[in-house]
Every structure is written in structure tokens, then in C-alpha cells.
Amino acid sequence: MSAILSDDEEGNISISSQSLEHFKATSGNHMARINKRWSSSSSDKRPKLARPTDAVHENITANFISPGQLYSTESGRLFHAGKILIVLVGLPATSKTLLSVAITRYTKWLGVRTRSFHVSEYRRQKSNADSIEFPNDYFSAKPTTERGRKVRKETINQVLTDMIAFFDKDEGQLAIYDALNILEEERSHLDKLFLGLNIKVLFIESVITDPQLIKHNVEMASKSADYQGWTKSEAKSDFMNRLMVNKKLYEEMKPEENLSYLKYINFGEKLIVNNNHYGYLINKIVFFLMNLRDKKGCVYFARCGTSDQDNYIDDEVLNVEGIHYSKVLTDLVLKTINSRRISQCSTPVDVGSWQNSPSSGPTRSASPLIPTSATLRRSESTGNTSMRQPASGDGGDEDSFVVWTAPRKRTYDTAMFFIEKGVNVRQCSQLQQLHPGVVADVSEDEIKHNFPEEYKECLKDPYHYRYPRAESYHDLAVRMEPLLLEMERMRGDILIIGHESTLRVLYGYLMACSCSEIPSLKFTRNELIEISFSPYENKVRRIPIPINQKAS
């Protein structure tokens, strides 16, 4: 029996007459729940210290329980959807790896046992471990040499074997197969093979027709691990060669193939869902993909400034230190974003005049951020009825910058200098901190003393444990899910000023932390956290907040 609570355990709650007596004796008190929804052995054995790396590719242990898991069924699989294989389809440089990693991150967070299988990783490992030279035609869907065919077949078979083992032995529910799969014959073979094993197959085909996007993706690919030590132009022409060879062979998916597929065109500009029989889980993935965007900016996390009192029940204003902190934070965030924009920009847009202009003079531009080419495009489309109008402040543009704060007064006020500078600041009710229940404003020593039993229970599973009348981290994560999707949709920079509990949940999603790690993640007032995005994994940087410095 896995540690994930099965329907049986959760369902047939039979309360013995003895425990009913107990209820009567103590009725009128707040009672901690006696039926544990999450088994206390749920904590996995990984070290609890926060890793600086993204764990989206880590294997999940047999009794893994994910941050956003709502409930599980007897088999440990969610949404009663059975086992599903998602097969990525598409030419090189169509963001297949990014898609498979993003879906893995999201579904894992939802509690689905997901693993992505990247054929390119298999090849890299193989060539490192066995120092096998991969023939050049290996990269074609139809290699021309005997040796190319053999190596290609071996590699793919290895992936298939591992995927089947994942479903069979590791109780996997969702495998994501990241390879070209551009031939109709390959797809039909996969569909038959896995249907035979009672595993449903959904194809996600990424099609890119926008030349700008292709150019960007080729650029990215020529900087990948495959081309370490190559000159830029050699790398690019080699990659273009891989692309052209396969383009000739490519058979785009069509309804006549009679497969369930999702066409994902120009990174979400258009989606086509065909033959969708799989219900909720797939709809949920489509919903996610509607919001997934190629991010240009970063997500920043910061705490709010301090107030004189620090009680849960009060709604305090910032004190002098708190106001100073807000100023320093504003300067630091703007400086960080601008210096990144300068380093990324190939043709700097009038940087000089921006730096020289006084920050509060009448000549100040509306935005404290350096304009990018996207800014120019937007000013062209405003008022032009033939184009979709930009929704102000919704973060859809790659040069947008939005600040989210929790609804509490001092948190919102921490953003006051951003408002002054014309930055969009949004108060999000979902960022309301974890409800502490009876332990609100109670020190740890007092908890130990006044609630010894509860304290002991909490230590066993701090993620799922609720103090009487409190929210658990799990409750918080479920409540915050809409924010995760909004965060995915925003292409520019986001600064989130919030309580430590909510930052833990958001960070936990972006870095694929486990339940056992999230409650002990640390966010202090002397560090700004920056999370940057790349297709294979996300990266964290901790930037010191120079709180002793004079603010501008």
C-alpha cells in the first residue's frame, strides 16, 4: 500500500463509538482533526535544505505527494484519468523541450505522477558515457546510413523501454516523450504500442510558422550544450542543416490520422484540440497551455517592509525602517531589470537619455524602465482598430513590469514608490498569507507549551498539518493556483511582495520543490530573489538588498 491515501482509507471513515464518546466529552472546543488526510510518512527522505536548483527533472519517489494535490484515488492516480502518454511532435527548434518541461512542472504540482523523457538527453548521456560518436544522419527522422539507423533505433528503444517501466514499476501516470515524431508511421506505431498496454496517447504537435520565433529558437539552439566549443556560425549552420533535413520529411498531423492530438501553433497563438476523449486532465493541460508564454522577463520575490506591531489580526502601516526599505527595494528592482535589459538589447534604445533624466522632473518618461522594441510596437497599435488593443497592466507584453502585493496595508504600501513611478501595482487577494488559526501571533515556545500535541503533529508533516482553525500550506497552494497560471501568462517582469508563506508556495512551484521543503524555505528582508527561465530548467539568483544604503 502506498503512502498516498487511497479511497478506501479516506472513504470509509468509520468512527468508533469510543471516539464519538470522546467528541461529546470535549464538544464545544476546537478539536484538531483526528482523521489524517495525508499519511504522516508522506515526507520524502530528501534533505530539507533549500536547493538552489530546479527539481523539475528529479524522479519522484513512490510515496511522493505534491504541493497542489487535491485528492488521490486508490491507484494513486489523479482525476480518474488512467495512464496517459503525451507525445511531442515537431521539427527541431519548436520549443518541444520547453513544453514538456512546463507541462511536467504543472502536472507534478497538481499531483500527477509525471516524468518527461527527452531523447536528446539520452543521446548526450550515451555519447558521454560510452563515448559513442553519433553519425551526422542520426539527427534525421530517416537516417540514410546503416549505422545512423542502428544508433537511432537503439536510442529510441531505450526511451520507450524506460517509459513503459515508468508506467509499470514506478506507478507513473503521465509520461511525456520529447522527440521529433514527425513521421505518420512513427506516431501510429506509438499509438498502437501504448494503447495495447492500456495507456492513452495524446500527441502535442508544436508548429512554428512565425519567422521571428524560428529565428529566436535557432539562435537559442546554437547556444545549447550540443555546440559547446563551436563557433557561432558553425553551430548555426549545423543546426540549420538538422532542421532542413527534417523539414523535407515532416508529415504534419491531420484529422485523418484518427489520433487524439493538440496542435500548438506559434507558441500558443492558436490551439487546436482534436478528438479529446480524456476529459479533465487534458482540459486542464489545454487551459495551462493557453496561459503558457515564452518568458522574456524574470519573477522577483521580496518581503514587505516592517511595521511597529506585527500581529496577524491587525492591519499595520509601515514604520520608518519599512518606508526606507521600500525605497531601497524600488531602486534595486528597477536597476536590476534595466541592467538586464541593456545587456540583452542588441540595439540599445536611447539608454543615455534615460539615465540622465532626473527621476522626478517634468521630463521624466511615463515608465521608469528602458523601452524595448515591444514598447515601440505597442505605441503603434494603440488606437488602431485593425489590431488587438493592449490590455493595460496585464503583463502580456514582453517589456511589461507588474508588481503584485498581498492585500494587507503594509504590504501594499511597500509598493508605494513603484506607484509613484507609474508602475502597475496590483493587490491580489490570493496572496493573503497562510491563515495561522489558533497559533496566530504565538511564538514557537508558546506553541510548544500551549499546544504540545499539535506541535508534535505539525513537525511530522508541516506541509499538510493544520493547526486548529488554520490553513495548511496545501490549502494555501490550492487557493493560489490561479496566480500560478497568471504568472505563467506574463511575459515581462513581475515583482511579488508577499508574506513568507505565499512566497514559499510560488517559489515551490517555479523550482519544483517537494512538500517537505516548502514550509522551511527562507525569504528574508535582506535578499531579493530572482528567478529566470530557460527551456530546460529555471534558475535562482539571490541579490542582497543594500538596506544600509541611502535611498535615492
Beta strands in 310-442 (DSSP E): 401-405, 424-427
Q: What Cα–Cα distance (Å) separates residue 255 from each residue in 86, 179, 262, 281?
A: 17, 21, 11, 22
Among positions 256-275, residues that touch another protein (CB under 8 A) are 268-275
Buried b (16+ CB within 10 A) or exposed e, 344-367: eeeeeeeeeebeeeeeeeeeeeeb
Indicate the burial class of 78 (C-beta count within 10 angstroms; 0-12, 13-18, 19 or more).
buried
- Whole-angstrom Cα distance, residue 483 to residue 485? 5
Q: Give the binding range for another protein (CB under 8 A) out of 39-47, 112-120, 164-172, 383-391.
A: 383-391
The least distance separating another protein from the CB of residue 412, rounded to whole angstroms, comes to 13
Q: Which is nearer to another protein, 379 or 389 (CB)?
A: 389
Element (H, E) at 121: helix 119-129
Which residue of 59, 244, 280, 376 would you call a contact of another protein, by CB under 8 A?
A: 280
Q: Determine, following the binding rule CB under 8 A, whether residue 459 of this chain makes contact with another protein.
A: no
Q: Determine, following the binding rule CB under 8 A, whether residue 312 of this chain makes contact with another protein.
A: yes
The least distance separating another protein from the CB of residue 411, rounded to whole angstroms, comes to 15
The least distance separating another protein from the CB of residue 458, rounded to whole angstroms, comes to 16
- Whole-angstrom Cα distance, residue 449 to residue 447? 5
Q: Give the binding range for another protein (CB under 8 A) out of 21-29, 50-58, 194-202, 351-359.
A: 21-29
Q: Give the binding range for another protein (CB under 8 A) out of 157-165, 361-369, 414-422, 468-476.
A: 468-476
Q: Which is nearer to another protein, 174 or 262 (CB)?
A: 262
Q: Determine, following the binding rule CB under 8 A, whether residue 54 of this chain makes contact with another protein.
A: no
Among positions 393-452, residues that touch another protein (CB under 8 A) are 393-394, 396, 424, 426-430, 435, 440
Q: Which is nearer to another protein, 338 or 375 (CB)?
A: 375
Q: Determine, following the binding rule CB under 8 A, whether residue 63 of this chain makes contact with another protein.
A: no
Q: Give the binding range for another protein (CB under 8 A) out of 99-107, 145-153, 286-294, 302-310.
A: 286-294
Q: Determine, following the binding rule CB under 8 A, whether residue 478 of this chain makes contact with another protein.
A: yes
The least distance separating another protein from the CB of residue 4, rounded to whole angstroms, comes to 13
- Whole-angstrom Cα distance, residue 468 to residue 447? 12
| Distant-in-sequence contacts of 36-41, Cβ < 8 A, 24+ apart | 37/5, 37/10, 37/464, 38/5, 38/65, 38/461, 38/463, 38/464, 38/474, 39/3, 39/4, 39/5, 39/63, 40/457, 40/460, 40/461, 41/3
Exposure on the CB side of residue 355, measured as CA atoms within 13 A:
9
Q: Determine, following the binding rule CB under 8 A, whether residue 24 of this chain makes contact with another protein.
A: yes
Is 294 assigned a catalytic role? no
- Whole-angstrom Cα distance, residue 441 to residue 395? 36
Which residue of 47, 198, 256, 313 would you call a contact of another protein, by CB under 8 A?
A: 313
Provide the residue type at 21 as one letter.
E
Task: Write the binding mask 479 to 498 for another protein: x where contact by CB under 8 A, - elsewhere.
Answer: x-xx--xx--x---------
The least distance separating another protein from the CB of residue 216, rounded to whole angstroms, comes to 19
- Whole-angstrom Cα distance, residue 239 to residue 464? 48
Q: Which is nearer to another protein, 33 or 150 (CB)?
A: 33
Q: Which is nearer to another protein, 7 or 252 (CB)?
A: 7
Q: Give the binding range for another protein (CB under 8 A) out of 143-151, 168-176, 472-480, 530-538.
A: 472-480
Q: Which is nearer to another protein, 167 or 465 (CB)?
A: 465
Q: Are 345 and 372 in contact (CB under 8 A)?
A: yes
Q: Give the binding range for another protein (CB under 8 A) out of 154-162, 300-308, 332-340, 386-394.
A: 386-394
Among positions 32-51, residues that touch another protein (CB under 8 A) are 33-35, 37
Q: Are 203 and 181 in contact (CB under 8 A)?
A: yes
Provide the residue type at 167 as one letter.
F
Q: Determine, following the binding rule CB under 8 A, whether residue 460 of this chain makes contact with another protein.
A: no
- Whole-angstrom Cα distance, residue 547 to residue 551? 9
Q: Determine, following the binding rule CB under 8 A, whether residue 457 of this chain makes contact with another protein.
A: no
Q: Determine, following the binding rule CB under 8 A, whether residue 474 of this chain makes contact with another protein.
A: yes
What Rg value do the Cα atoms of the chain yield, rounded?
26
Closest alpha carbon to 210 in 311, 295, 294? 294
Closest alpha carbon to 462 in 521, 503, 382, 531? 521
Q: Which is nearer to another protein, 139 or 264 (CB)?
A: 264
Q: Determine, following the binding rule CB under 8 A, whether residue 276 of this chain makes contact with another protein.
A: yes
Q: Determine, following the binding rule CB under 8 A, whether residue 378 of this chain makes contact with another protein.
A: no
Q: Which is nearer to another protein, 428 or 447 (CB)?
A: 428
List 269's β-bridge partners, or say none.
none
Contacts of 412 (CB under 8 A, 6+ apart): 405, 406, 425, 427
Q: Are 507 and 531 in contact (CB under 8 A)?
A: yes
- Find the catalytic residue in 178, 226, 399, 493: 178
- Whole-angstrom Cα distance, residue 119 to residue 125? 10
The least distance separating another protein from the CB of residue 138, rounded to whole angstroms, comes to 36
| Residues with a known catalytic role | 178
